[in-house]
Chain A
Amino acid sequence: MRIARRHLIAGGAAAALAGTLGAGGRTAAAAPRTPLTFMLDWFPNPDHVPLYAALGAGYFTQAGLNVNLEVPANADDPLKLVAARKVDVAVNYESGVIFARAQGLPVRSIGLVVSQPLTTVMFLKSSGIRRPRDLAGRRVGFAVSGLEEALIDQILRSDGVSKANVTLVNVGFDIVPALLSRKIDAVVGAYRNVERIQIEMQGQAVGMFAPERYGVPPFYELVLIAGDAAIAARRDVLARFVRAAGRGLALTAAHPDEAFKHYVRLNPKLDDTFNRRSFEATLPAYARSQHQLRERWAAFSGWMAAQKVIPSAVPADQLYTNLAP
C-alpha cells in the first residue's frame, strides 16, 4: 500500500518533469533560451495568477525565455535588486517605483499586472462608519507602506476632516486580527481582494473607502519593473517578457478557470477557498493592456509630491517605458 503510493507520487513527479522538459526541449533544440531572473513582490498570491498562467502555459518558453522565478524576503528588495542588476524583472507597485526614483534608484515600470488600485481604508460594517467623516475620534491602523498617512489624509480631507482627528496606529502584519478584535476601528492599506475576503470568511460584513473615489489619482497597483541599464542593454528580451506576461493576462481574462488551474498546479499549497475567492475578486482589476498612460504616472507622482511623501514630483518619462505596446 505504502510502496504503491510512493510509486504513484514518483510517477506523477516524473510525468510533470517530462512535461516541463518537453515544453522547453523543443525550443531549446531550435535556439538556446535566454535566462531571465524574475522576482515577485511578495510570496505568491492571487495577484500573480496571470504570471503563473503565462509560466504554466509556456508563454515565456515560447518567447525564448528561461524564466527563473524568485520570491523576495521583503517587498522593497525587488526595487534594489533590479536597480543593482541582480534581478532582471520584478513585480512592484506604482508608489514603489516613484519612491525608488525619488531616492535616485535607476528603475522604471515596463509593464502592468494589476492596473486598478486594490488598497483601501477598510472597516467592519458593524462599526457604524459610513463615510470618511465618521473616522473622526477613532483609531485607524495601518501597515507601513510609506503611503499610509498620505492616503488617510486625502480621504479624510475629501470629507472635510483633518488627519489630526484620528489616532494612527501601526498594526504591523496583523490587520485582520486587529480589526476583528476591535483594537482599531479602521485600517489603511487593506486590500479589497485579500483582507476583505479574509474578514468576510470570518462572517463579518466589510465596508471600504476606495482611495480613487476620494481624490487620490487612480494608480497601477502592480507593475513590472526593470533597471535602466537592463532596458538599454536588453530591450528586446524584456519586451518579449512583457508580451508573454500580456498573454498570461489575456488568458486569465478569457479563461479564468484555466489560469487558476495553472496557479494552483504551480503552488499546490494555495489550492483553497480563500485563494479562489480572492482570485475572483481580483479578476476585474487585472491589466487589459500593456500600454501605460503617461497621465497616470504624472498624476500620481504629482499627488505624492503634494502630500510631501517625496520631495518633488518625478517626471513621468523617468517612471515608465512602454516596451510592448
Chain B
Amino acid sequence: MSVLRAAQGDRAGAAPANLHRRAGVGAGTRLRAYAARVVPPLVLLGVILAGWEAAVRVFDIPFYILPAPSRIAGVLAGDRALLLGEAAVTLGEVLLGFAIAFVVGVVLALAIFSSRTVERAVYPLVIASQTVPVFAIAPLLVVWFGYGTLSKIVMAALIVFFPIVVNTVDGLRAADPDMVNLLRILGAGPAEIVRRVRVPAALPFVFSGTRIAIATSVIGAVIGEWVGSTRGLGYLMIHANAQLHVDLVFAVIVYLSVMATALFWTVSLVEWAALPWRRAETAAQAEGEV
C-alpha cells in the first residue's frame, strides 16, 4: 500500500519533472538544429572572405581588378546612406514586380490546370517567354513602358512569372488521386476539390517556385535599371563603373546579394508560418538528422 502510494507519489512527482526535462531537451535540440543551420554557412563565408583578403594581399592584386573585402567594407560603411537609398528603390521595384507576377501567375496556373485547351494554347508560350534573353528585350520594355519605375517592375515580373506558373501547375497536379476520388464520391464539386485538396497540395510547390523567383527577380530589376533609369542599385552600379569606382560596384553587388538572400528567407519564413504540416515534416527530418 505504502509502496504503491510511494510509487504513485513518485510517478506524480516525477511526471512534471519529466515533462520539464523533455521541454528542456526540446529547446536544446531546437537551438542545436538552429546552430547547425546558421553556423556552417557563416563559417564558410568567413573562410571565403579570409581567403579573398589574403589572396589580394599576398598576390598584390590591384583594387581595380579585385578589391579586398576590407576595402569593400569601408565603402559599405562610408556610403551607407547612398546605398540604402538606392536599395530602397530597387526593393520597391522587385516587390511590386513580384506581386504582379504572383497574382497573374497563380491565376494563369489555375486556368492551365482547369482547361486542357488553355493549357495547350498557353503553356508553350509561357515556356517560350522564358527563353527570351531578358537583356535583349530590356531596351524594348523601356521604350514601351517608359523610363520610370513601370519598366523595371515589368522586368522583375517577367523573371518571376515563369517559376511561379510552372510550379503552381505541377503542385495542382500533385494532389493525392485517392483523396480527390474520395471527395468526389462524397459529392464534392470541382471547386471544392480544388479548395480542399488541390490547393493545400500545391502550396509547397508554389512556395518553392516563389523562393527561386523572388531571388532572381532582383536581376530583372537591375537589368531594367541599367538600360534606362536614374535611380536604384543597378543605376548606381553602372554610374560607379563609368567613374572607375570599382569598390562601390562591389559594395552594390553585396547589397544585391543580401537583398536576394533576405527575400529568399522571408519567403521561407512565410512558408513556415503558413504551412504548419510542412513544419512538422521539417522538424521530423531535423530530428532524424540529429
Task: Decide if A183 touches B239 in the complex (CB within 8 Å).
Answer: no
Q: Using Cβ atoms and an 8 Å threshold, which residues of chain B touch A170?
A: 147, 228-230, 235
Q: Does any Cβ of B come within 8 Å of A208's Cβ?
A: no
Task: Give chain B's interface residues, CB within 8 Å of chain A.
Answer: 62-65, 138-139, 142-143, 146-147, 226-230, 235, 238-239, 241-246
Select which of B147, B239, B245 is within 8 A of A171 by beta carbon.
B147
Q: Is A122 an interface residue (CB 8 A)?
A: no
User: How many chain A residues have a CB neighbour from B under 8 Å?
Assistant: 30
Among B63, B146, B239, which residue has the most Cβ atoms of chain A within 10 A?
Answer: B239
User: Which among A80, A172, A181, A183 is the interface contact of B64 at CB below 8 angstroms?
Assistant: A80
From residue A11, how far is it (CB to closest CB) to chain B in Å?
Answer: 38
- The A-B contact count (CB < 8 A) is 74
In the complex the two chains form, is B243's CB within 8 Å of A309's CB?
A: yes
The residue that B230 contacts in the complex, of A145, A168, A174, A178, with Cβ under 8 A, is A168
Shortest Cβ distance from B224 into A: residue: A172
Instruction: Give the residues in chain A near B227, CB-CB below 8 Å.
Output: 172-174
A75 to chain B: closest residue by CB = B242
Q: A171-B147, A172-B228, A174-B139 are in contact. Are A146 and B65 (CB under 8 A)?
A: no
Query: Of residues 158 to 187 in A, which have CB atoms within 8 Å of B's CB atoms?
Result: 168-174, 177-178, 181, 183
Residue of A nearest to B240 (CB): A146
Instruction: From B63, B226, B239, B245, give the contact of A172 (CB < 8 A).
Output: B226
User: Which residues on B sit within 8 Å (CB–CB) of A79?
Assistant: 64, 244
Q: Is the CB of B143 within 8 A of A174?
A: yes
**Are A183 and B147 neighbours in the complex by a CB distance under 8 Å?**
yes
Does B142 contact A174, Cβ atoms closer than 8 Å? yes
Cβ of B242 and Cβ of A145 under 8 Å apart? yes
Contacting B at CB under 8 A, from A233-261, are none
Give the shortest distance, in Å, between B238 (CB) and chain A (any CB): 5
Q: Considering the chains assembled together, what is the distance between the CA atoms of A104 and B64 in angstroms?
A: 9
Contact A146 B242 (CB under 8 A): yes
* Shortest CB distance A25–B (Å): 37
For the complex of A and B, the 4 pairs showing the least CB-CB separation, nearest first, are A172-B227, A146-B242, A146-B243, A169-B147
Q: How far is the CA of A105 from the CA of B62 in the complex (A)?
A: 9
Pairwise interchain contact A103-B242, C-beta atoms closer than 8 A? no
Given A145-B242, A181-B143, A80 contacting B228 (CB threshold 8 A):
no
Q: Give chain A interface residues in 90-110, CB to chain B under 8 Å.
A: 96, 99-100, 102-105
- Map CB proximity to B onto A60-104 as digits: 1 under 8 Å, 0 otherwise: 000000000000001010011001100000000000100110111
User: A104 contacts which chain B residues (CB < 8 A)?
Assistant: 63-64
A144 on the B face (CB < 8 A): yes
A sample of 17 inter-chain contacts (CB < 8 A) reads: A74-B241, A76-B244, A79-B64, A79-B244, A100-B244, A103-B245, A145-B242, A146-B242, A146-B243, A172-B139, A172-B226, A172-B227, A173-B227, A174-B228, A178-B143, A183-B146, A309-B243
Minimum CB–CB distance for A164 against chain B, Å: 14
Q: Give min CB distance, A116 to chain B, whole Å.
A: 22
* One of B142, B226, B229, B242 near A76 (C-beta < 8 A): B242
Q: Is the CB of A169 within 8 A of B228?
A: yes
| Bound Cα distance A210, B229 (Å) | 25
Is the pair A144, B238 in contact by a Cβ cutoff of 8 Å? yes
> Which residues of the other chain, A, contact B245 by a CB distance below 8 angstroms?
103
CB A177 to nearest CB in B, in angstroms, measures 6
Taken together as a complex, chains A and B put the C-alpha atoms of A310 and B143 apart, in Å, by 32
Query: Distance (Å) between the CB of A113 and the closest chain B CB?
Result: 20
